[in-house]
C-alpha cells in the first residue's frame, strides 16, 4: 500500500477498509481508472499493490472502473461530407483553412463555454435594492464571450462581405454548422441578426438603419450588435396577421412610439429589434389583419436612470430547452421606433428575415444531428459491452449508419438552399433559382427540424443510460432540438406556406423543382452503382407529378390535408437527387454512394402512397375528427 493510501484508509475487522470521513481520495484513484485503455480494466488494487481478493467496494470506495467519456474532436476534420462538399464547391485554401482552425477552436475552447451557458442560464433582475425598476437580464460571462467570438469569426459578416462570391453563404453556414452545437444557443441571436441585416440590405442601407447595418455586419466585437425579431404576441404565434395587437402611435418628428405586449422575444439582450405593429390614424383607429401591419426598427437603450426606454421585461420564459438563451415577455410602453416598410406591408417586409432565420434553423438541425453522430461514433470506440466495443456490434453500427444517412441528407438539402441564397445575393440567380429558393426554404426547415428530434433522440439512446444523464451534456442536445420544429414556423404552418408559394407562383416553384431534380438525376444516368437509387427518385418524381395533376382538380381542402405529406415528399425526393448527385462527383467515396442508396430505399413520395389510400378525401377528415374526439361509450 502506498504511503498516500495508507494515510487515507484504516483497516477495520474483516479486512474492509474505509476512507476517513471528510478526507478526499487520492487523485491517483480517479486518474488511474479514467485513463485506462479501452477494454482494459486495471484495478486500483493492482495499481497500489493490493493483495488479490481485496474488495474495492466499501465505504466511500466506488470501484475502479470508470467509463471513458465521448470526446469532441475537430468537427470540421471529423466530417467527411462537409470536407468533400467544400472540396467540390469551394476548394479555396482560405476557406478550408479557416474552417479547420475554427473547428479546432470549437473543440478546444468554445464547447466548454457552450456548456457554461447551459449550466449558468440567464436570470432577470427586475428591481434594484432600492426598488427602482431596472429590468436587467443577467447573462453568463460565457454568453458574452460568444458575442465577441461571433464578431471576430465573422459569423454574420461573412454573408455580407461576399469574399467567396456566390459561395459566401455556403462558407458562412458551414462555420455556423460547426459552431451551432457548441454555441450555447448563440446561433439564435446570430440568426436574427443575420435576418435583420438582410431586411435592411434588401430595403436599402440608409438612415435610420445605416449604423445598425454596419454594427450587425462588423467583425469588431466592440462595435457588434445583435438584433431581435419580436413577432409573437399573446394572440399571435403563427397567426401574426390577426394576432398582433401592438399599435404604433405617430410622433410629430415622423417617428413612432410602440405600445403592446410581445409574448416571445428570443435573445432579449439584443441591441435592437425588428418588430410589427399597427399604425394608429388620427382617430386612434387601426386596420385589422395582415394588411394593417407595418415593419418597425427600434433600438434597445436605457435612460440616465438606467431604465429601459419604453420597455418593461415582464418575466423570462421557463422553457423545455434553449435555456442558455433569454426569452422574455415584454411590455412595450412607448418604445421609440422608426417605420421601415410602407404602411400595411409589414409581413411581406419581414419575410426576408423569415427566410434567413429558417435557413439558420435548418443549419442548426443538421448540425445537431452531425454532433450527436460524431459523439456516438467516438463513444462506440470507448465503450465495451457484452465482451466487445460497441463499434464491433453490427446492430449498433447499423443504427449509427441510419443516423448518418439522415444527417447527410439534411446537410445536402440545407447546403443547397444556402447555395441558392448565395446565388440570389450575388446577382447570378436565374428565375428558376429564385423559385427553388422560395420553395425549398420552408421544405428544408420543416423536414430537418423533424429529423433532428428523431436523430438526436436515437443518438442519446446510443449512450445507454448515460444519454439520459443531465451533466453529460447530452440531454440538452435533445431539448434544444425540440424547438427546431416549433419556432420560426411549425411543421404545419410551413407546409401551408409551401402550398401558398405554389399557388402565388402559379405553380412555377414546382416547375423549377421538377426541372432541377431531373437535371441532378441526369448526371447519374449510366452510373450503374447508383441505378436503384436513380430509379426510385425517377419513379417518385413521376408519382409526384401525377399527384399534383390530380390535386389541382380537387377542392382546396384536399390539398390542405395533403400539405404535410406533400412537403415531406418534396424534401425526400430532392434530397435523394442531391445524394445521388454528390455520389457522382469525381471525388466521391463509396460511403457517399451507400448513403444515396440507403436514403432512396424509403417511401420517397408518401403523398402519392397516402393519396392512393384515400387519406385526403373528405371522409378521411371526418374520420380523423371522430378518432381524435372518440369518447368512451356511456353506460
Would you tell me which residues interact with ligand MFK (CB under 6 A)? 187-188, 191-192, 229, 231-232, 238, 240-241, 266, 290, 347-348, 351, 354-355, 357, 360-361, 364, 487-489, 493, 497, 500, 504
| Closer residue to ligand MFK (CB): 177 or 558 | 177
Distance CA 75, CA 120 (A): 25
Least distance to ligand MFK from the beta carbon of 504, Å? Answer: 6
Closest CA to 490 of 563, 406, 405: 563
| Closer residue to ligand MFK (CB): 191 or 337 | 191
Least distance to ligand MFK from the beta carbon of 498, Å? Answer: 10
Least distance to ligand MFK from the beta carbon of 328, Å? Answer: 12
Kindly report the number of other CB atoms within 10 A of residue 261's CB atom.
Answer: 16
| Closer residue to ligand MFK (CB): 354 or 600 | 354
Instruction: Pinpoint the alpha helices (H) of 231-345.
Output: 240-243
| Closer residue to ligand MFK (CB): 48 or 351 | 351
Under 8 Å between Cβ of 566 and 607: yes
Under 8 Å between Cβ of 481 and 474: no
Distance CA 26, CA 230 (A): 54
Least distance to ligand MFK from the beta carbon of 230, Å? Answer: 8
Least distance to ligand MFK from the beta carbon of 378, Å? Answer: 24
Least distance to ligand MFK from the beta carbon of 147, Å? Answer: 15
| Closer residue to ligand MFK (CB): 17 or 232 | 232
| Closer residue to ligand MFK (CB): 369 or 580 | 369
| Closer residue to ligand MFK (CB): 421 or 533 | 421
Contacts of residue 554, Cβ cutoff 8 Å, sequence gap at least 6: 616
Least distance to ligand MFK from the beta carbon of 368, Å? Answer: 10
Contacts of residue 40, Cβ cutoff 8 Å, sequence gap at least 6: none
| Closer residue to ligand MFK (CB): 329 or 592 | 329
Least distance to ligand MFK from the beta carbon of 254, Å? Answer: 25
Distance CA 204, CA 206 (A): 6
Query: Which segments of 209-354 are extended strands (E)?
Result: 227-230, 232-233, 247-250, 256-266, 272-279, 293-299, 311-316, 327-339
The H or E element containing residue 389 is strand 388-389
User: 504-517 burial, b if ≥16 CB within 10 A, otherwise e?
Assistant: ebeebbbebbeebb
Least distance to ligand MFK from the beta carbon of 142, Å? Answer: 18
Instruction: Pinpoint the alpha helices (H) of 38-92.
Output: 44-48, 80-89
Distance CA 215, CA 191 (A): 15
| Closer residue to ligand MFK (CB): 204 or 306 | 204
List Cα–Cα distances, 9 to 4, 5, 54, 228, 253, in angstroms.
9, 6, 14, 58, 80
| Closer residue to ligand MFK (CB): 357 or 374 | 357
Distance CA 464, CA 572 (A): 30
| Closer residue to ligand MFK (CB): 337 or 400 | 337
Least distance to ligand MFK from the beta carbon of 258, Å? Answer: 17
List Cα–Cα distances, 270 to 140, 326, 468, 626, in angstroms.
15, 10, 33, 47
| Closer residue to ligand MFK (CB): 240 or 478 | 240
Kindly report the number of other CB atoms within 10 A of residue 98's CB atom.
Answer: 18
Contacts of residue 236, Cβ cutoff 8 Å, sequence gap at least 6: 243, 244, 263
Contacts of residue 486, Cβ cutoff 8 Å, sequence gap at least 6: 449
Name the pairing type of β-strands 384-385 and 388-389: antiparallel
| Closer residue to ligand MFK (CB): 440 or 608 | 440
Closest CA to 182 of 69, 98, 102: 102
Least distance to ligand MFK from the beta carbon of 348, Å? Answer: 4
Least distance to ligand MFK from the beta carbon of 143, Å? Answer: 15
Kindly report the number of other CB atoms within 10 A of residue 139's CB atom.
Answer: 22
Least distance to ligand MFK from the beta carbon of 190, Å? Answer: 8
- Three-state SS for 305? coil
Least distance to ligand MFK from the beta carbon of 624, Å? Answer: 23
The H or E element containing residue 138 is strand 133-138
| Closer residue to ligand MFK (CB): 367 or 540 | 367
Distance CA 10, CA 63 (A): 17
The H or E element containing residue 136 is strand 133-138
Name the pairing type of β-strands 256-266 and 384-385: unpaired
| Closer residue to ligand MFK (CB): 191 or 605 | 191
Least distance to ligand MFK from the beta carbon of 47, Å? Answer: 47
Distance CA 425, CA 158 (A): 13
Distance CA 263, CA 432 (A): 38
Amino acid at each position: 500500500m502506498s504511503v498516500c493510501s495508507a494515510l487515507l484508509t484504516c483497516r477495520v475487522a474483516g479486512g474492509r477498509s474505509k476512507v476517513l470521513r471528510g478526507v478526499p481520495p487520492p487523485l491517483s484513484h480517479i486518474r488511474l481508472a479514467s485513463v485506462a485503455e479501452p477494454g482494459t480494466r486495471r484495478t486500483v488494487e493492482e495499481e497500489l499493490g493490493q493483495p488479490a481478493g481485496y474488495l474495492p467496494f466499501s465505504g466511500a470506495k466506488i470501484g475502479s472502473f470508470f467509463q471513458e467519456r465521448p470526446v469532441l474532436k475537430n468537427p470540421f476534420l471529423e466530417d467527411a461530407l462537409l470536407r468533400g462538399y467544400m472540396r467540390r464547391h469551394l476548394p479555396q485554401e482560405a476557406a478550408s483553412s479557416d474552417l479547420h482552425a475554427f473547428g479546432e477552436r470549437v473543440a478546444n475552447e468554445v464547447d466548454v463555454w457552450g456548456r457554461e451557458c447551459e449550466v449558468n442560464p440567464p436570470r432577470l433582475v427586475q428591481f434594484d435594492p432600492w426598488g427602482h425598476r431596472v429590468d436587467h437580464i443577467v447573462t453568463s460571462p460565457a454568453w458574452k464571450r460568444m458575442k465577441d467570438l461571433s464578431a471576430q469569426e465573422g459569423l454574420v459578416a461573412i454573408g455580407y462581405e461576399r469574399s467567396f462570391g456566390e459561395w459566401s453563404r455556403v462558407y458562412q453556414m458551414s462555420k455556423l454548422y460547426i459552431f451551432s452545437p457548441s454555441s450555447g444557443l448563440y446561433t439564435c441571436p446570430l440568426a436574427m441578426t443575420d435576418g435583420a441585416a438582410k431586411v435592411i440590405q434588401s430595403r436599402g442601407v440608409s438612415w435610420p438603419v445605416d449604423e445598425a447595418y454596419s454594427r450587425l455586419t462588423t467583425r469588431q466585437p466592440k462595435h457588434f450588435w445583435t438584433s431581435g425579431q419580436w413577432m409573437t404576441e399573446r394572440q399571435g404565434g403563427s397567426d401574426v396577421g390577426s394576432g398582433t395587437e401592438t399599435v404604433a402611435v405617430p410622433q410629430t418628428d415622423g417617428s413612432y412610439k410602440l405600445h403592446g405586449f410581445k409574448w416571445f422575444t428570443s435573445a432579449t439582450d439584443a441591441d435592437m429589434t425588428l418588430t410589427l405593429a399597427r399604425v394608429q390614424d388620427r382617430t386612434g383607429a387601426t386596420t385589422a389583419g395582415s394588411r394593417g401591419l407595418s415593419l418597425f426598427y427600434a433600438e434597445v437603450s436605457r435612460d440616465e436612470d438606467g431604465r429601459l426606454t419604453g420597455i418593461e421585461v415582464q418575466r423570462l420564459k421557463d422553457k423545455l430547452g434553449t435555456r442558455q438563451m433569454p426569452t422574455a415577455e415584454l411590455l412595450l410602453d412607448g418604445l421609440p421606433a422608426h417605420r421601415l416598410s410602407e404602411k400595411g406591408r409589414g409581413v411581406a417586409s419581414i419575410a426576408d428575415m423569415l427566410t434567413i432565420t429558417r435557413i439558420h434553423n435548418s443549419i442548426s438541425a443538421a448540425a445537431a444531428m452531425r454532433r450527436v453522430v460524431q459523439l456516438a461514433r467516438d463513444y462506440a470506440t470507448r465503450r465495451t459491452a457484452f465482451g466487445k466495443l460497441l463499434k464491433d456490434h453490427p446492430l449498433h453500427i447499423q443504427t449509427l449508419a441510419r443516423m448518418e444517412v439522415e444527417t447527410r441528407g439534411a446537410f445536402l438539402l440545407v447546403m443547397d438552399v444556402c447555395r441558392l441564397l448565395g446565388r440570389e445575393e450575388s446577382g447570378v440567380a436565374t428565375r428558376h433559382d429564385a423559385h427553388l429558393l422560395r420553395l425549398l426554404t420552408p421544405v428544408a426547415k420543416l423536414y430537418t427540424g423533424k429529423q433532428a428530434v428523431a436523430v438526436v433522440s436515437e443518438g442519446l439512446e446510443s449512450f445507454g443510460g448515460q444519454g439520459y444523464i443531465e451533466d453529460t451534456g447530452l440531454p440538452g442536445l435533445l431539448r434544444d432540438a425540440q424547438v427546431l420544429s416549433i419556432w420560426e414556423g411549425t411543421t404545419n404552418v410551413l407546409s401551408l406556406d409551401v402550398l401558398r408559394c405554389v399557388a402565388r407562383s402559379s405553380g412555377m416553384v414546382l416547375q423549377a423543382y421538377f426541372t432541377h431534380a431531373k437535371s441532378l438525376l441526369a448526371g447519374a444516368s449510366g452510373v450503374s452503382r447508383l441505378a436503384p437509387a436513380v430509379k426510385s427518385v425517377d419513379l417518385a418524381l413521376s408519382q409526384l407529378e401525377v399527384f399534383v395533376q390530380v390535386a389541382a382538380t380537387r377542392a382546396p381542402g384536399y390539398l390542405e390535408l395533403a400539405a404535410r405529406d406533400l412537403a415531406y415528399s418534396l424534401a425526400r425526393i430532392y434530397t435523394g437527387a442531391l445524394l445521388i448527385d454528390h455520389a457522382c462527383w469525381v471525388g466521391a467515396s463509396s460511403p457517399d454512394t451507400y448513403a444515396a442508396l440507403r436514403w432512396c430505399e424509403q417511401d420517397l413520395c408518401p403523398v402519392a402512397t397516402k393519396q392512393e389510400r384515400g387519406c385526403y378525401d373528405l371522409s378521411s377528415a371526418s374520420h380523423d375528427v371522430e378518432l381524435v374526439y372518440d369518447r368512451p361509450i356511456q353506460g
